[in-house]
Amino acid sequence: MSGWMLGIALISFVAAMILALVLTPLVKKLAYRVGAIDEPNHRKVHTRTMPRLGGVGIYAAFTIGLLCILPWVPDGYLSAYDRNLISALLVGGTLIVLLGALDDKYDLNAKLKLLVQIGAACIVVFGFGVKINLLNIPFGSAMQPLGEWFSVALTIVWIVGVTNAINLIDGLDGLAAGVSGIAIATILVMGIIMSNEAVILLGALLLGSIGGFLFFNFHPAKIFMGDSGALFLGFALATLSMLGFKQITVVSFVTPLLIIGVPLSDTFFAIIRRWRKGKPIFEADKGHLHHCLQQLGFSHRKTVLIIYAIAAFFGTCAVVQSSVTNTGLGNWITFIVICALVFLLQIGAELIGIVDKTRRPVLDFLARIRMKPQTGSRK
């Protein structure tokens, strides 16, 4: 990795942050003018009318920064493959931001939003040829090609799933933006380690855009990112995670799964919770991670900082796991890390009651083991 490319990345980060700082107040005025506002209700934590559309500021800062920086990057630093993927992010991301902006204004139907998200994923897959195309056999070295349609379906599910996962955690000031920023920072660090110029450039621009926006979005927020921001950041994370690992294999998805472990686990628990209660999985509720932490007595700011810490822990695990993937014990270490994290997630979920406030099977089982009377004779 050349110092020149790192310099470009630093300039990109600063430029995107300045652009976000300048553009976000303008977007705030636009939101009020067009009526893209969020009214308080029984499910939401804010108590006054707030402007949405903050994601438009993030997108505009990122896009303007990218279009200004790209002409200064020599062709040798970005391959045709990288430029193709950058184009996929721009085109698909633009469609996603338009969808989110309209939803911020009109509260679109969930089925329509899902259809457009699938369309954006199809642009990435069919328009630019980006898809998961190899399968790594666990505890082996063979790479097996996936069938064409299975490959396409898996990629679309990945993009749509991650896009919505970020949207589902957007419930507190600065939460979704901060968690996304930590995930992108993790990918940026891994891009530097792997000397991947495209990841470094895009990661720096996205991180700068989020940083500038967080100045207005951290508690107490002056503007919400809305669906325009949550959907765009989710889409960018999904695409960037595939861009960051050019082999685009199923085994490489362990790393991006860890990177976005907080929103994905929250989404998983939300689906289980709603299924157990017989409710539609897309029906909003107050059982998400941030709701549970606040119900335990943590303040708004402390709840966000706790989730930031959890996201940073997942990001650190992702970097460690990625660094050992190609070693002789890589598969075993990955397996152990996944098992340990699944166990910790289950314990955490039972402690805060994110699925059920009363049923705690693992904690009850551990308690029974600890309280089991010692066998043996007494004198």
Report the percentage of the chain scoring pLDDT > 90.
Answer: 33
In this predicted model, what pLDDT tens digit does every residue of 62-118 receive, in sequence order? Answer: 999 999 998 888 777 777 778 888 898 999 999 999 999 999 999 898 899 999 999
Q: Is 84 marked as a binding-site residue? A: no
Distant-in-sequence contacts of 204-207, Cβ < 8 A, 24+ apart: 204/9, 204/10, 204/12, 204/13, 204/16, 205/12, 205/13, 205/16, 205/62, 205/65, 205/66, 205/69, 206/16, 206/62, 206/233, 206/236, 206/240, 207/13, 207/16, 207/181
Q: Is 356 marked as a binding-site residue? A: no
Tokens of 290: 């941030």
| Interatomic CA distance for residues 183 and 191, integer angstroms | 12
Tokens of 173: 């000031």
Q: What is the dihedral of CA 30, 36, 42, 43, to 10 degrees?
A: -100
* pLDDT at residue number 180: 92
* pLDDT at residue number 325: 58
* pLDDT at residue number 227: 93
Mean pLDDT, rounded, for 187-199: 84
In this predicted model, what pLDDT tens digit does every residue of 227-258 receive, in sequence order? Answer: 999 999 999 998 887 754 444 444 445 666 77
Q: Is the pLDDT of residue 21 over 80?
A: yes
Largest pairwise CA distance in the chain = 86
Most confident of 19-23, 88-92, 170-174, 247-251: 19-23
Mean pLDDT of the chain: 82
Between 320 and 225, residue with greater pLDDT: 225
Tokens of 99: 């969808």
* pLDDT bracket for residue 19 (50, 70, 90): very high
Mean pLDDT, rounded, for 265-282: 80
List, in sequence order, every beta strand (DSSP E) within the chain.
Answer: 37-38, 50-51, 134-136, 143-145
Q: Is the pLDDT of residue 186 over 60?
A: yes
Kindly report the pTM of this predicted structure. Answer: 0.85
* pLDDT at residue number 42: 58
Mean pLDDT, rounded, for 201-224: 94
Alpha carbon distance, N-terminus to C-terminus of the chain? 73
